[in-house]
Amino acid sequence: MRIAIVNDVRVAAEALRRVVSSLPDHSVAWTAADGVEAIAMAKRDRPDLILMDLIMPHVDGVQATRQIMASSPCAILIVTATVSGNISLVYDAMGFGALDTVDTPTLGPTGEMTGVDALVGKIATIAKLVGVSTDHQRATRSDDAAAAPHLLVIGASTGGPKAVADLLMPLPRDWNVAVVVVQHVDVAFSQGLAKWLAERTGHAVRVAEGGERPQARTVLLAGTNDHIVLTKGRTLDYREEPREVFFRPSVDVFFESVADHWPQPGTAVLLTGMGRDGARGLSKLRGCGWHTIAQDEATSVVWSMPKAAIDLGAACEVLPVERMPASIVSRMNR
């Protein structure tokens, strides 16, 4: 995993560099002395993870996190001299997309370091979340990303059909975006739902077939009582496993497969529904640099699913349905 370091204190930056350099399969991508430099560097060379300080001149870690997540999203870990002493700023940064926070290791006068284990543990957790790629795998993934359309994935349950229709209707018909919808609905109603959504929204909507790829200008709807997944070959497939997951098709199962196999970050939306399905998957997508949106309470028929995602820190934005299309179009057009 390529890790960037953003810290204006030279001794702190050196301590972080030593920690990262000591970890197998990890390397220092670049270093920046303040938020301004970090924003520019992230645009030129997006790393897998940024270790972001909070208190810095010019642009602090909160605003740097906000701008990086808006322009070149990636995993960000807040590493500050004292988490407890900057808790308000920590929460602000996490609200803009930072995944977690940890105290900065300290480098003693004789070269000994303290506080290393906590940082290493956080890095290991994020590495599992985003995946560690070899240079060859990363190059292949970049080539795939250039050929693949942008991807918008949507999960919904109770009250979902109307919310999905209201979300899709204002979106452009002719753009390089593929859409896949996972709605908790029995197979007996999936074809009818696809037809209803097409008539209501004006988009090309149909039930996804096993073996096909998401394609631009098409909305694919999960259409069986099995789970729908994205395979390593970027095709859609229906599977019985995991059998223990109650909701079928499961938003979590689909979102997690997308996080594992789609070659570039897209946008993921979790709409109204009962239970917690989708929260874990949305969190994984956010950790992979996706822009994630959860529906607000006021416009949800049942707020359980979006609320679970919000409580988990999985949502970059919490919006009413009517404000989602503008956010999605702005993100996809960048």
**pLDDT 10s digits, 32-83:** 999 999 999 999 888 989 999 999 988 999 999 999 988 888 889 999 887 7
Pair (149, 125) in one structural domain: no
Selected residue with higher pLDDT from 193 and 130: 193
As a whole number of angstroms, the distance between CA 240 and CA 228 comes to 9
250 is catalytic: no
Pair (44, 165) in one structural domain: no
Tell me what the mean pLDDT of segment 149-169 comes to: 95
* Mutual angle of helices 35-44 and 61-71, in 10-degree steps: 20
Pair (321, 185) in one structural domain: yes
Total count of domains within the chain? 2
pLDDT of 145 reads 54
Pair (161, 294) in one structural domain: yes
Range of the domain at 21: 2-132
DSSP, res 85: G
Tens digit of each residue's pLDDT (9 = 90 or more) over 98-157 = 888 899 988 766 667 887 888 998 898 888 776 554 343 444 444 455 567 899 999 999
277 is catalytic: yes
Percent residues over pLDDT 90 in the chain? 62
**Annotated catalytic residue within 250, 277, 291, 300:** 277
pLDDT greater than 80 at residue 245: yes
As a whole number of angstroms, the distance between CA 164 and CA 159 comes to 9
Pair (170, 295) in one structural domain: yes
296 domain residue, yes or no: yes
Pair (167, 53) in one structural domain: no
**Annotated catalytic residue within 26, 150, 184, 203:** 184
Q: Which of 85, 103, 132 is the last residue of a domain?
A: 132
- pLDDT grade for 299, boundaries at 50, 70 and 90: very high
Q: Which of 107, 132, 157 is the last residue of a domain?
A: 132
227 is catalytic: no
pLDDT of 81 reads 85
As a whole number of angstroms, the distance between CA 129 and CA 100 comes to 12
Tokens 């284990």 belong to residue: 117
pLDDT greater than 60 at residue 214: yes
The span from the first CA to the last CA of the chain, in angstroms, equals: 25
138 domain residue, yes or no: no
Pair (107, 249) in one structural domain: no
Pair (161, 299) in one structural domain: yes
Pairing of strands 291-295, 317-319: parallel
Pair (149, 175) in one structural domain: yes
Q: Which helix (H) or strand (E) holds 100?
A: strand 100-103
Pair (238, 309) in one structural domain: yes
**Annotated catalytic residue within 72, 157, 250, 257:** 157
Q: Which of 94, 112, 132 is the last residue of a domain?
A: 132
Pair (160, 308) in one structural domain: yes
State the average pLDDT for the chain.
Answer: 89
Among 19-23, 104-108, 144-148, 164-168, top mean pLDDT goes to 164-168
Structure tokens at 246: 């109650």
